Amino acid sequence: MKKWFLSGLCIVGAVQMGTAQSLDKMQWFNEPEQWEIDEGTLSMFVTPQSDYWRISHYGFTVDDAPFYYATYGGEFEVKVKVSGDYRERFDQAGLMLRINHENYIKTGIEYVDGKFNISTVVTHHTSDWSVITLDKPVPYIWIKAVRRLDAVEIFYSFDDKEYVMMRNAWLQDNIPVQVGLMGASPDGKGFKATFEHFKVKHLPDKRRLEWLSRNAAE
């Protein structure tokens, strides 16, 4: 493993308490050769010719891109600020929610034919792909996903204030989910991706709240 300078993990973890996740307590799936955590920001050089995709349209399955994650149960909201030195077609970086190799959602910025796109891939045995093409390049984007019951709502923002919903996707409920940061470079030689202000916020179980409301003591 080649790792860039990893500064003050204990200090970083203490600073992040209450405001963001402690990145040093997360783990890699397909660890890239180069990465670093510095003051609560994760930077990685995305592994060349790596991706997540299953079967549909292209006829192949790949599951080899870097993914830095922690496991969460129940309902939650996750968001992150993403930027990258995108170079080649399909270079991408963002969030991923993953149950296993056949069930996951990845969403973020994807560079396609010279344009920036807000991209989401939803996979349940086979993958689908939806995009929103942006009018011009952006230096960064905020991506947010909200897991409620058996659905995940996905939003994007340019300022972390006004969020626009771009997808509502099914994801099995009552099962733990790996939640974290991913990058992929299917056609390219890799690129640097940066993730800031990563945060996962627990949400009270909706069914339990409804039960409590119906059965409140008089």
41-68 pLDDT, tens per residue? 999 999 999 999 999 999 999 999 999 9
Instruction: Tell me how many domains the chain contains.
Output: 1
Q: Is the pLDDT of residue 179 over 70?
A: yes
Q: Is the pLDDT of residue 120 over 70?
A: yes
Residue 215: CB partners within 8 Å, gap ≥ 6? none
pLDDT above 90 coverage of the chain, percent? 87
CATH number of the domain encompassing residue 76? 2.60.120.200
At 215 the pLDDT is 93
218 part of a folded domain = no
Mean predicted confidence (pLDDT) in 89-103: 98
199 part of a folded domain = yes
143 part of a folded domain = yes
Q: Domain range spanning residue 72? A: 9-16+25-204
Q: Give the number of other Cβ atoms within 10 Å of residue 218's Cβ.
A: 2
72 part of a folded domain = yes
4 part of a folded domain = no
Least confident of 18-32, 74-88, 147-161, 168-182: 18-32
Spatial distance between the Cα atoms of 1 and 8, rounded to a whole number of angstroms: 19
Spatial distance between the Cα atoms of 205 and 213, rounded to a whole number of angstroms: 12
Spatial distance between the Cα atoms of 150 and 146, rounded to a whole number of angstroms: 11
Q: Is the pLDDT of residue 3 over 90?
A: no
Q: Is the pLDDT of residue 218 over 60?
A: no
Q: Is the pLDDT of residue 217 over 90?
A: no
Q: Is the pLDDT of residue 19 over 50?
A: no
Q: What is the pTM of this model?
A: 0.89
- DSSP 3-state assignment of 30? coil
Backbone angles phi, psi at 64, to 5 degrees: -130, 10
108 part of a folded domain = yes
pLDDT above 70 coverage of the chain, percent? 89
At 188 the pLDDT is 95
Q: 73-88 pLDDT, tens per residue?
A: 999 999 999 999 999 9
Q: Is the pLDDT of residue 186 over 80?
A: yes
126 part of a folded domain = yes
Least confident of 10-14, 54-58, 183-187: 10-14
At 140 the pLDDT is 98
Closest CA to 188 of 44, 31, 49: 49
- Could you give the angle at the alpha carbon of 158 between the alpha carbons of 155 and 160, nearest 5°? 70
- Chain centroid to CA 73: 16
210 part of a folded domain = no
At 4 the pLDDT is 55
At 193, the pLDDT band (50, 70, 90 cuts) reads: very high
At 24 the pLDDT is 87
Backbone angles phi, psi at 123, to 5 degrees: -125, 120
At 23 the pLDDT is 92
